[in-house]
Structures are given as structure tokens and as C-alpha cells.
Structure 1
């Protein structure tokens, strides 16, 4: 729901109040105050009126204003100082994001890098054939058209054929993360609670932090999100949005089961929660796709990425869902990038139709599954159990994250720390994310030995773990 412009006026309390506000719910009030802060109408340190003063001016209950204030405080926009009153917070300093901590810039001298979470370049389809298929006339026709279809009709027809539910609207965006970013920026407001998987893909948490939204962790088991945890996020925290990865979840490799889809949809039935599904490993995931959109199509936006299956530099993801949810994203994008290159869309379409490229993706899927199984089997022979997963990542349990990272680095192995994936500050157990795409049969024996040793590596300091 859009919020009409507000005006700030002086109040008898020496602060300000907002008037002419169309959306007088707690979310609307929080959004209006947040806008005043972002535009500078409310300077850092400005004293806010009391909850009762705002409630009286807006003709709403104090409870409604109090809820808005709590959302703003949770996002760091305002600060309560007891009897002194409530004040606009100081601008937050930009901290190093989780994704940057996961992939810090460095001059790598590692023998093998298992930290990147990217596919094996040797297993990607050959782009050359698709580029040759893009004739000069086709290229010129597409490149010259500013006002053509944003999505190639042939590509739309191709992806609709196996979309997990009937999508009212399709869009092509610049990769899955771009799609998640645009959906969140359009539909999530400051102070909103957003349910996320725990562990979670770090960029999702970075995006929510920049929006001032509150991530609500939802734990998982081998079948996906725990229904009782999601119910808590929806009922107790009033989560307005849910972000999930339906298969080959990064970092755990977990895929949703059919039974879990039914259980989660039962939890979400009757709620207004927006569902954003990121199928980032489409094509290379062995598990069948199961979507909440099959049961809740009116509130589900599904994202299918082609980065891991066909190449990251294509920067292509197809997004499908209700027009009510996607049209605002599409309309806003027309004021900027406008559309994703139809030349690249044509290249992808060519590969989706080409038997050789299709065979390459099928081969990659089988090979990733084989490498993952071989590594898990070799670790099991050394007494290390790793839960079965899909895709290109393993979630390796270790006694201590830092000690394990140091142990592997000494052996010339780079891994991804588990900390950035954890929603809270103190994970109950430690893990590393291991990407299996660089693994070769020649590496298996020595690599497994070093990974097994790293799982039991002890820190040189006493660590206090909070429950």
C-alpha cells in the first residue's frame, strides 16, 4: 500500500508530528517517519513527540503508534532514552556486509578454492554455438528496439511450459539476487519482519539490513523449513515476507519435500505473507522442484536463475508470479535499466532449444551429484557424517569455525566460514560451507583427509558459546 506525502509540523512538545497520512496503520506510520528521516526532514537527535501525542493527532490508538515506534527502534531509526524521551538515531555507519566477509578480496595462493559457491566452468554449455546462432540480422533487430517486449515471447513460452504454477506475469531480470533485491525494495518497508531460512544466504541478510527490515530466523531440517518455526514467525512476529530456496538450499543443500510444502502452505494459509522463492540452482539440482506457488499462487513470486546451469555472465533470471506483485517492480525498472538485454535472452533461448546444450546441463547435474556423493562417502569412512544435500555445496560440521579455517588454510585449502550464513550472533554449532564444483577425483583422498582433520581442530583459546 502506498503512503501519501506527509508533512512535519511543530508540536507543543517541542518536536513534530505527521499529518495528512493516508495509511494510519503501524506499518504506514513507521514508513512515513522513516521517509522523514531519510529525506532529512527529521535530523539525527531530533526529539519525537510522545506516543499519546501522535495517537491523538492521527486519531489512532496508542498501541498502533507504539508498534510503529518499536519497528523504527528495531531498525535503529529511533532511540528511546527513558524519561528524556525518544529521539531520531544517528546515521548508521556502513559496516562490512556478510557477503563481503564471506568473499574478502585477497590474492589467493591456495591449492584449491572451495569457498566460492560457483559452478565448474568446464561443465557449462558452450556459448559459442548460441552466439553463432544469433545472426547479424537478429542482433540488429533486437538491439535497435527500445520499445519492444521486455521479455522475448519465445522465451516466455518456453519457461511457462514447466513453470511450477500458473504465473500471471513473467519478467526477466539480471540474475536471482537482482530479482530478490527488487522484490524486497518494492514490497518490504523499514521495520518489517521478514522470515528467512537459518542458515541463510548472506546477501539476503545484507539486503534486509539496508532496508531496515528485521530478519526472523526459521530453522530447518532435512525436509526444509520447520513448520512450527514458520508459524512463530508469522503469528508472533507478523512476518510480512518469507524468502526461501526451494531446493539445493545455500548453504545446506536441503530441498523441500512434497509433505513439507503442504505443511508450510497450511501455516501460511490465511496470512498475507509475501513468498519469494529463489530457485538459484535450476538445471543442476537433482531434486524435483516443489513450490509454495502450487498451493498459494496469489502470494508467491518464483525466481528461476540460469547462472549456475548456463553461465553467471548471462546475468539472467526469469521471475513469475501475480501481476499485483510484479508490475510495481517492472514499472520502477523502466525508469532505470528498462529491460534485460534481449540479445542475452536470445542466447539463453538458443541454449534451451539446443540438444547439445541441454545434454551439457544434464551431464553437469549428474556430475555434481556424483562429486557430492563421493566426498560425503569418503568423509563417512573417516567418521565424519555430512547430511545429504543437493547442488554444489556441502554444510560441513566442525568443532570450531576459526580453527577449522586455519587448519585448511595451512593445507592450501580455502573454505567459506559458516558464520555469515547464521542469522543470529551465536550459532549453536559451527560449520563450513564446502563447494564441490572444483573437486576432482585426484584431489579426493588428500582433500578428505584435510577436511576430516579440520572438523576436529581445536582453538588455541577458550571459547564461550551462548545458547
Structure 2
């Protein structure tokens, strides 16, 4: 083995935290992180349930979710499993997926939500030290997952049209995977446009990275669904969650795309949970085919859009930087994250600190789930004014500076 190879190996191990150089004292293998768990995720959920108005959760408004009662009564108590080795996707659900998928998928499976899908796809694709490209900012549990896997994570800036093309071109060489959020990006509220997707696909075509897309907002997104799988279906895995649109307790997400990856996920699940409840899949089929559910989702989408627009207009009028043109969240620029969080807590308002969403140091932000601000527009404006007051508080001491 050449000295260069050894040097690169040591550098890679140090980069993912597997070893620690201590100067003249030598180099040590670091202890496992143990059960400490998802540190970023815990930071954005630690205060949940302690506020009169909790805008930290990133969850949908329960009042805007479809009524499951009629669908449950239609599904009844039927048995839908004849063998533990049955195909993991109900035929009726697969029919719905094929008809609505954004590109021709080589295979489908169903898992227990979007994060379960990200975890399982990552487990069959990634290894210690792999270079992985994500959006900056992005969903904290994804960063926790990649950190625990020992991946080398690189962030690409996001604007309203999606990931920056030049940033992706600089980050993707040597990457094993690229994680994208198709629309209503959490936390920035961006949705990838058709023109941007075509540019991203052109960059990705020159490399070998697998693209893993997360459509977590699904039918409550106001933007049309665009996938880079339209240009590169054999190298794209698309995840569609039904949690925010149809209900978190359905615990269902569909995974479709590159056949080798999707099949590997399904095969590995045979040695664990086996399949996602076929009763819940049948319930989802009922919802997908129910005109009243479609009307409910349209109402939810419009309601979220109104709440978001009123809040954005109020913050912008106050001179506060904010992004979020789609979905239930806003990404609010603040002078000082800690000061703003404390000021809002004093008013009984909970928000998520921005730091856990960051791949690298950046300006201070808050992630605010404005989709949970119920009531008339005047109430939304009042809450947004409180957000603006907190955002504009003088800088005291920022952990980024």
C-alpha cells in the first residue's frame, strides 16, 4: 500500500470522526457515539408541547387532515395477507402509484414514513466515508442519520427554485448520493422548478451519484411535482410521504425508482418488519380514490398558502428576511437565534432554532411552522408581528460568530 493511499485513508477516517489525532500523543480510535441519538432532531423538538402556540413541530394542522372514519368503515376487518412473502405493495395501491409517479419507476415498495424510507435507502446505498450531497439548509434528522453513518456531508445552497446548479456542480464529483426535497423544502419552503430540475439533471448526468428525492409534503404542496427522474430514472429513487397530507399516523411512504435500490430495500425489510400494514395501505387507497378527500386536500393546500402568504407579507413589510413560497414552514432570518427564540418563548410561542438545519455555519435563522397559525388573517398578522419583533432584536451573542 502506497504512503499516499495510507494518508488518504487516515484523512477519510478523521473526516468522519472515526479517529482523532492528538499530536505527539498519537492517533486514537474514537469511542462510538453510543445511544446519544439524533442531537439535531432533539434540538428542534425539545420544547414541543410547552407553548400556548407551538410553531416548532413541522407537523400539519390536524383540523386540515382528511376524516379517516368513512374510509376505515369501508376497509373493515378484511385480511389482506396470505403469505409473509407477499409483494409489499397492495396491487390497488401500486396501480395508483404507477399512474401518478413523476417518472417510470423500475420498482416500488412501501415503508413506514419518509424518514424510514431515507434511513432504509441510505442503509443499502451508503458506507462509512461516502461523500453525500444535501441541501443547505436541510432536515435535521437526515443530517443526524448521515452523521451516524459516518458520511462526508457537503451542503449546496437553496433558493426558491431549488438547489443552486453551480453549487451542485462543485459538490457532486465523487459523491455516492445526492439528497433533494422535491417541493416545500424543509425548512426553506423551496420547490424545484422544471427548468431547475433539467439543469440539475444535466450536471448529475456527468457523475455516478444516486439521486434520492423526498416529496414529504405531497398533496398539500401548492407547487407541481417535478423530479430529476424524468431525465435519469435509472439513477433516481423518489420517496412520497402521506404523513402531512393524509395523516401522520398512517405511517406510510411509497418508494419508487431505480430497481436495484428499491428491491434491496424491500428484500432487507423481509428480515425485519417484513411489510407495512396492508390494512393501512387499503385505507390509503380508499383515501386516494375518495372525491371528498381530494376536496379536503385542496382546502388544506389553499389554507396553508393563505397563512403562509399573510405571514410572509407581514414579515417582509417589517424588513425581515424570509423564504418559504410553498408548504407549511418559513425560514426566517434573525439577528440572533437565541435571543429571538427566548423572546418568542416569553410570549408563549415556540419555534425551531435554525442551527440544527445547517450543514455549515451561516446566518442565524428560525424555522417557523406557520401552517399551524389558525384563525383569521388578523391573528396570523399578529403572530407574524411578534416574529418580526423577535427577529429584529439587537445581536447579543451568536453561536455562529
In structure 1, the residue matched to 2:391 is 455
Indicate conservation of the 8 Å contact 1:376/1:385, yes or no: no
In structure 1, the residue matched to 2:107 is 169
Residue 387 to residue 282, structure 1, CA distance change in 2 (3 Å) = same
Output the TM-score relative to the length of structure 2.
0.94
In structure 1, the residue matched to 2:161 is 223
CA drift at 1:217? 1.0
CA drift at 1:444? 2.0
1:437 has 2:371 as partner: yes
CA drift at 1:258? 1.5
Further displaced range: 392-401 or 261-270: 261-270
Residue 384 to residue 74, structure 1, CA distance change in 2 (3 Å) = closer
Residue-by-residue CA offset, 1:411-466 (whole Å, 9 max, x unaligned) = 11111111110112x32x1111111122121522421221111111124x444754
CA drift at 1:274? 1.1
Write out aligned runs for 1:57-456 (5 A): 61-80=2-21, 86-92=27-33, 94-95=35-36, 97-104=39-46, 108=50, 110-136=51-77, 139=78, 141-143=79-81, 145-235=83-173, 238-424=174-360, 426-427=361-362, 429-439=363-373, 440-441=375-376, 443-456=379-392
* Higher-Rg member (1/2): 1
In 1, distance between residues paired with 2:15 and 2:45?
A: 28
Indicate conservation of the 8 Å contact 2:111/2:252, yes or no: yes
In structure 2, the residue matched to 1:29 is none
Unaligned runs of 5+ in 1: 1-54, 56-60
CA drift at 1:209? 1.0
In 2, distance between residues paired with 1:373 and 1:405?
A: 22
Indicate conservation of the 8 Å contact 1:98/1:206, yes or no: yes
Residue 372 to residue 324, structure 1, CA distance change in 2 (3 Å) = same
> Over aligned residue pairs, what C-alpha RMSD do you find?
1.9
In structure 2, the residue matched to 1:14 is none
Residue-by-residue CA offset, 1:114-167 (whole Å, 9 max, x unaligned) = 11111111111110011001133xx2x215643332100110011111211100
Residue 416 to residue 87, structure 1, CA distance change in 2 (3 Å) = closer
CA drift at 1:363? 1.1
In 1, distance between residues paired with 2:10 and 2:237?
A: 30
Residue-by-residue CA offset, 1:157-181 (whole Å, 9 max, x unaligned) = 1111121110010000000000000
Residue 113 to residue 259, structure 1, CA distance change in 2 (3 Å) = same
In 2, distance between residues paired with 1:192 and 1:121?
A: 39
CA drift at 1:322? 1.6
In 2, distance between residues paired with 1:186 and 1:252?
A: 28
CA drift at 1:306? 0.4
CA drift at 1:291? 0.6
Relative contact order, CA 8 A, sep 6+: which one is greater?
2
Q: Alignment partner of 2:276: what SS?
A: coil
Q: Alignment partner of 1:301: what SS?
A: strand
CA drift at 1:336? 0.6
Q: Alignment partner of 1:240: what SS?
A: strand
In 2, distance between residues paired with 1:71 and 1:142?
A: 48
Indicate conservation of the 8 Å contact 1:397/1:431, yes or no: yes
Indicate conservation of the 8 Å contact 1:71/1:192, yes or no: no
Q: Alignment partner of 1:350: what SS?
A: helix
Residue 392 to residue 293, structure 1, CA distance change in 2 (3 Å) = same
Following TM superposition, the consecutive aligned residue runs of length 4 or more in structure 1 with deviations greater than 4 angstroms are: 80-87, 93-96, 462-466
In 2, distance between residues paired with 1:106 and 1:250?
A: 18
Output the TM-score relative to the length of structure 1.
0.81
